[in-house]
């Protein structure tokens, strides 16, 4: 399996170096580059087919918010892990709707950071316990889904692909994809990321990571 590069963008030296050490020890990446500012980072975005970025979102201005969204839209193989101290549920939701792969806070444990890095480099999503709790505590309007649709939502939120869900539920991939479309339509959602947020808000995603 070909390894992809990791870009770490953090202005704080201690956090930057801590992430660098964890990433190097993980053996998940072909190379690890460190940047202090996003103006340096953006020159490298898109230079490889698949890339992973870990960045401090809290210190960025609104202009960068739009730029980050554009990066994600134009580079489908770009995996972005955001780390911040801001656990405002509205702020979290706006960031996740961009399509970021992971969301951690600076109080996360080493185990959570390593699990997040492993998940997102494999194209999966990871949200730390504190982020999920912020979403669940806010609450959300209940939407009526069938029991089967709820099962599908939970399996999607757990990171399963359509083929994996089909195997687990003993149904066809076509049926799984039909469920996906119907669920998004019922909930008026646009993406799997928004669906994961919904599942967290309903308490269908366990706050305890395996």
Instruction: Give me the residue spans of the domains in the chain.
Output: 4-135, 139-201
**φ, ψ at 44 (rounded to 5°):** -100, -15
Query: CATH topology for 139-201?
Result: Arc Repressor Mutant, subunit A (1.10.10)
On the question of a common fold for 4-135 and 139-201, the answer reads no
- Residue 140 pLDDT exceeds 50: no
pLDDT-derived band at 188 (thresholds 50, 70, 90) equals: confident
Judge if pTM exceeds 0.75: no
Average pLDDT over residues 145-149: 79
pLDDT-derived band at 209 (thresholds 50, 70, 90) equals: very low
pLDDT tens profile 78-127: 999 999 887 777 778 778 778 888 889 888 888 889 988 988 888 788 88
Please give the mean pLDDT across all residues of the chain.
83
Which is nearest to 184 in space by CA: 141, 147, 153?
153
Which is nearest to 92 in space by CA: 210, 204, 184, 201?
201
Query: CATH topology for 4-135?
Result: Rossmann fold (3.40.50)
- Residue 137 pLDDT exceeds 70: no
Average pLDDT over residues 27-54: 91
pLDDT-derived band at 61 (thresholds 50, 70, 90) equals: low
- Residue 177 pLDDT exceeds 50: yes
- Residue 30 pLDDT exceeds 90: yes
């Amino acid at each position: 399996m070909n390894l992809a590069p990791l870009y770490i963008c953090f202005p704080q030296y201690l956090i930057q170096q801590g992430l660098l050490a964890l990433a190097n020890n993980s053996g998940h990446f072909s190379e690890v580059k460190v940047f202090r500012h996003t103006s340096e980072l953006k020159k490298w975005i898109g230079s490889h087919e698949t890339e992973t970025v870990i960045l401090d979102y809290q210190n960025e201005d609104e202009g960068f918010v739009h730029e980050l969204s554009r990066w994600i839209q134009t580079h489908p193989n770009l995996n972005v892990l955001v780390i911040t101290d801001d656990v405002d549920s509205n702020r979290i939701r706006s960031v996740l709707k961009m399509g970021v792969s992971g969301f951690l806070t600076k109080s996360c444990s080493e185990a959570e950071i390593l699990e997040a890095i492993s998940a997102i480099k494999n194209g999966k999503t990871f949200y730390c316990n504190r982020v999920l709790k912020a979403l669940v505590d806010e609450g959300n309007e209940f939407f009526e889904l069938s029991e089967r649709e709820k099962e599908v939502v939970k399996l999607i939120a757990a990171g399963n692909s359509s083929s994996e869900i089909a195997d687990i539920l003993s149904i066809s991939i076509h049926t799984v994809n039909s469920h996906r479309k119907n669920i998004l339509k019922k909930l008026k959602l646009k993406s799997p990321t928004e669906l994961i947020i919904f599942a967290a808000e309903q308490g269908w995603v366990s706050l305890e990571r395996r």
